[in-house]
Amino acid sequence: MIYLARATIRDIAVKAGVSITTVSLVLNGKELRIASATKKKIIRIANELNYRPNQLAVGLITKKTNTIGLIVPDISNTFFGELAKGAEKEASSCAYNIILCNTNDNPDKDVEYLNILLDRGVDAVIMVPSANSADSMAKKCLTLMEQCQKPLVLVDRIKMGEKHTSISVDHEQGGYIATKYLIENGHTRIGCITGPLGMLNSRLRFLGYKKALKDSDIRFQAKYVEEGNYHVEDGERLAEGLFENKVTAIFAFNDLMAYGVYKAAAKLGCRMPEDISVVGFDDLFYSSIMEVPLTTIHQPSYEIGEAAVRRIAELVKDENTKKEAIIFKPKLIVRNSVQNINR
Partner DNA sequence: CTGAAAGCGCTTACAG
Contact set with DNA (CB under 7 A)? 5-6, 8-10, 17-22, 24-25, 27-28, 30-31, 33-35, 38-39, 51, 53-54, 57-58, 60-62
The pair phi, psi for residue 52, each rounded to 5°, is -135, 130
User: Does 278 participate in binding its own copies (rule CB under 8 A)?
Assistant: no
**Contact 310/90 with Cβ under 8 angstroms?**
yes
309 binds its own copies (CB under 8 A): no
Q: Does 36 bind its own copies (CB under 8 A)?
A: no
Residue 320 binding partner per list DNA, its own copies, none, with a CB distance cut-off of 5 to 8 Å that depends on partner kind: none
Three-class SS of residue 249? strand
Helices and strands: H and E segment counts in the chain = 12, 12
Work out whether 140 is an interface residue with its own copies (CB under 8 A): no
State the Cα–Cα distance between residues 15 and 42, nearest whole angstrom. Answer: 9
Dist. CA 331–CA 298, nearest whole Å: 5
Among 19, 97, 136, 245, binds its own copies (CB under 8 A): 97
Quick one: which segment of 2-10, 37-45, 129-137, 219-227 binds its own copies (CB under 8 A)? 2-10
Per partner kind, with CB cut-offs from 5 to 8 A, the member of its own copies, DNA, none near residue 335 is none
Radius of gyration of the chain from its Cα atoms, rounded to whole angstroms? 26
Chain mean position to CA 214: 31
Q: How remote is the C-alpha of 44 from its chain's centroid?
A: 43
Side chain identity, residue 125? V
Which of 20, 41, 53, 170 is the binder for its own copies (CB under 8 A)?
Answer: 53
| Helix, strand or coil, per DSSP, at residue 253 | coil
- From the CB of 219, what's the least distance to its own copies, in Å? 34
Torsion sign, CA atoms 195, 258, 223, 268: negative
Closest CB 20 distance from DNA, rounded Å: 5
**Under rule CB under 8 A, which residues in 70-89 are in contact with its own copies?**
70, 74-78, 80-82, 84-85, 88-89
| Residue 137 or 218 having the CB closest to its own copies | 137
Task: Select from 19, 21, 28, 92 the one that contacts its own copies (CB under 8 A).
Answer: 92
